[in-house]
Structure 1
Amino acid sequence: MSTNIERFKAIVERGFSQGDLSVADEICDTKLIEHQYLARADLPGPQILKAQIEDARRSIKDLKFTVEAIVESGDTVWARGKATGVDPRSGKAVTIDVMDVCRFANEKLVEHWGVPDRFALLHQLGALPPPPS
């Protein structure tokens, strides 16, 4: 992998869409700083990403994550993507938007902010009232 965009896409495609945890060992710095709400920040860098991949794939069956827009500015990659799959409890198909900001240094992911649209997920599962019409 030669660019930070390619590194990010590897996390999305190999990690989240395919469940390949080895991508975390290849790309994450051991001192990764994680800012995503509810992420396990008490683990060493690669283990943080592995836990996120496992949690996401457990929460959404047949998870597929696609990058819809991406830009690199200096050492930072900004991406908007879409996660699709099936809620394992209800069997309902779900789709959520995800925003990611990843800072890289020395070809390693050193800092991450992730914002999955959890409200959209809760609406799709019926846990929140439908939006007003």
Structure 2
Amino acid sequence: MFDKKTNIASQEAFGEAVNTGDLGAFDQLVASDAVDHDPAPGQGAGPEGFKSFFSEMRTAFPDLHVEVETLVADDDQVGFAYTLTGTHNGPFQGHDATGKAIKVRGMQISKFADGKLIERWGSSDELGIMTQLGLA
């Protein structure tokens, strides 16, 4: 079933889960066999993979925040550009906290079926993060 409004609402709920740290919400928002075409190193599949990744990110950046700048959607896909901000107050990719703030841009395309994420393509400015933290 394809429903643009449901998919946008699911994508918004995904972002809210990231911003609030309510990572258990991924169980309802991500299909168990969801495919991430651009996973983080070591990221597993499905809801557990997203929980693990964002748990690590929220540990490194407890004030992690994703702000959607623009969003487009069709019947089964939602694409958006975003700004990611946070303060490095925990371990990140083997580096101790620096206390430095980051602000980077990214883009993502999410494909949905029945209101659940089934595929994801995305890109964040990882070099920008490392540079702003003084680690690159």
Whether these two folds match at TM > 0.5 is yes
Q: Which residue of 2 aligns with 1:23?
A: 25
**What is the CA-CA distance between 1:41 and the residue it aligns to?**
5.0
**What is the CA-CA distance between 1:62 and the residue it aligns to?**
0.9
More deviation, 95-104/33-42? 33-42
Distance 1:114 1:60 in 2: 20
TM-score (norm 1): 0.85
Q: What is the RMSD of the two structures over their aligned residues, measured on CA atoms?
A: 1.6
Amino acid at match of 2:33: K
Unaligned runs of 5+ in 1: 129-133
Amino acid at match of 1:58: T
Corresponding residue pairs, total: 125
TM-score (norm 2): 0.83
Q: Which residue of 1 aligns with 2:127?
A: 119
The 5-angstrom pairing of residues 74-93 of structure 1 reads: 74-88=75-89, 89-93=97-101
**What is the CA-CA distance between 1:10 and the residue it aligns to?**
0.8
Distance 2:134 2:44 in 1: 32
> Are residues 41 and 32 of structure 1, via their aligned partners in 2, closer, same or farther at CA, if it must alter by over 3 Å?
farther
Query: With CA pairs under 8 Å and 6+ residues apart, which has the higher RCO, 1 or 2?
Result: 2
